[in-house]
């Protein structure tokens, strides 16, 4: 895809994310928890998630009809051999339901197995983080970059707590115990897309989580990389989009972070 075409798509995707974000923000003002459905144990969804995804799919189908879709709510599951949109219409649904103001719209575009465009719109602060492959990372038109913290001891780390798959709970708690004692602290915001955007903008030095899906991380991972950060799976490899585990850092702490994480995870 030509750079000019990708830049045009980026601008249009930002507008889609902001438009759908405005819909979500409006619905939050009068949202009733009676409208919550359960996809599985502690896996919540509402009409807002579904309608937001429908709007995103409709808009993206118009601006780039050649692309297929990977969607959280299954609004459109038609895949393309080359281009696919990867969409989380409301990342942080539990926060949204409970009125906690950390949730976002996450939209990525993949060309085969590579993410080439990413937009994360944090709805409550009106912050739009975005990047295209090779074009740097931005928030509301201002360039962003990862932090310069040199080691874990100088780092603030984010993660996500397991909420339905507890198979690795003991290892997870051991990792939290270790990081509590070796960093500036841990944060759990409840939106992986926002966590990654905050690593990209230097607010956090690192983020890790397991049991995530492609639509949780695709956009944010590209934004981190374009901001100068590093993204891998737990073993330091590249299987973080579909491999259900991710470590994203400012690059400087990455090796130290992986060593400590794997010391615990492989025990």
Tens digit of each residue's pLDDT (9 = 90 or more) over 172-231:
899 999 999 999 999 999 999 999 999 999 999 999 999 899 999 999 999 999 999 999
Domain co-membership, 138 together with 208 = no
End-of-domain residue from the set 92, 116, 144: 144
Tell me the binding residues for Mg(2+).
72, 88, 90-91, 216
End-of-domain residue from the set 144, 162, 190: 144
Domain co-membership, 8 together with 135 = yes
End-of-domain residue from the set 102, 127, 144: 144
Domain co-membership, 164 together with 76 = no
pTM of the predicted protein model:
0.95
Q: How far apart are CA 103 and CA 42, in angstroms?
A: 17
Please work out, in degrees rounded to the nearest 5, the angle formed at the alpha carbon of residue 237 by the alpha carbons of 235 and 242: 100
Residue 203 pLDDT: 98
Question: Strand 68-71 vs strand 83-91: parallel, antiparallel, or unpaired?
Answer: parallel
Strands (DSSP E) contained in 22-144 are 37-40, 43-45, 68-71, 83-91, 104-111, 114-122, 127-132, 137-139, 142-144
Of 80, 81, 96, 79, nearest in space to 35 by CA: 96
Tens-place pLDDT, residues 80-109? 999 999 999 999 999 999 999 999 999 999
Q: Count how many domains the chain has.
A: 2
Mean pLDDT of the chain: 93
Domain co-membership, 186 together with 84 = no
pLDDT band at 40 (very low <50, low <70, confident <90, very high): low
Looking up residue 224, the CATH number of its domain turns out to be 3.40.190.80
Q: Range of 43's domain? A: 3-144
- CB within 8 Å of 252: residues ≥ 6 apart: 148, 149, 150, 151
3-state secondary structure of 246: strand
Tell me the binding residues.
72, 88, 90-91, 216
List the single range of 77-81, 160-164, 183-187, 234-238 with lowest mean pLDDT: 160-164
pLDDT at residue 163 tops 70: no
């Amino acid at each position: 895809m030509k750079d000019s075409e990708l830049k045009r798509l980026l601008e249009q995707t930002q507008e889609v994310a902001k438009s759908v974000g405005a819909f979500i923000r409006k619905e939050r003002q009068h949202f009733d928890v009676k409208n919550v459905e359960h996809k599985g144990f502690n896996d919540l969804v509402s009409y807002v998630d579904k309608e937001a995804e429908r709007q995103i799919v409709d808009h993206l189908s118009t601006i780039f009809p050649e692309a297929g879709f990977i969607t959280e709510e299954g609004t459109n599951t038609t895949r393309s051999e080359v281009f696919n949109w990867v969409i989380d219409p409301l990342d942080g649904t539990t926060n949204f339901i409970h009125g906690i103001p950390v949730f976002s719209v996450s939209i990525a575009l993949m060309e085969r197995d590579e993410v080439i465009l990413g937009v994360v719109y944090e709805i409550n602060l009106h912050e739009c983080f975005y990047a295209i492959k090779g074009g740097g990372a931005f928030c509301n038109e201002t360039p962003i970059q990862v932090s310069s913290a040199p080691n874990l001891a100088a780092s603030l780390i984010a993660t996500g707590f397991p909420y339905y798959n507890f198979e690795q709970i003991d290892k997870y708690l051991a990792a939290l115990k270790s990081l509590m004692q070796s960093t500036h602290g841990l944060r759990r915001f409840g939106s992986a897309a926002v966590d990654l955007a905050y690593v990209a903008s230097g607010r956090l030095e690192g983020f890790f989580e397991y049991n995530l899906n492609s639509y949780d991380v695709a956009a944010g991972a590209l934004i981190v990389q374009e901001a100068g950060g590093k993204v891998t799976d737990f073993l330091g490899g590249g299987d973080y989009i579909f491999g259900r585990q991710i470590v994203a850092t400012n690059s400087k702490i990455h090796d130290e972070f992986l060593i400590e994480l794997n010391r615990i995870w492989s025990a």
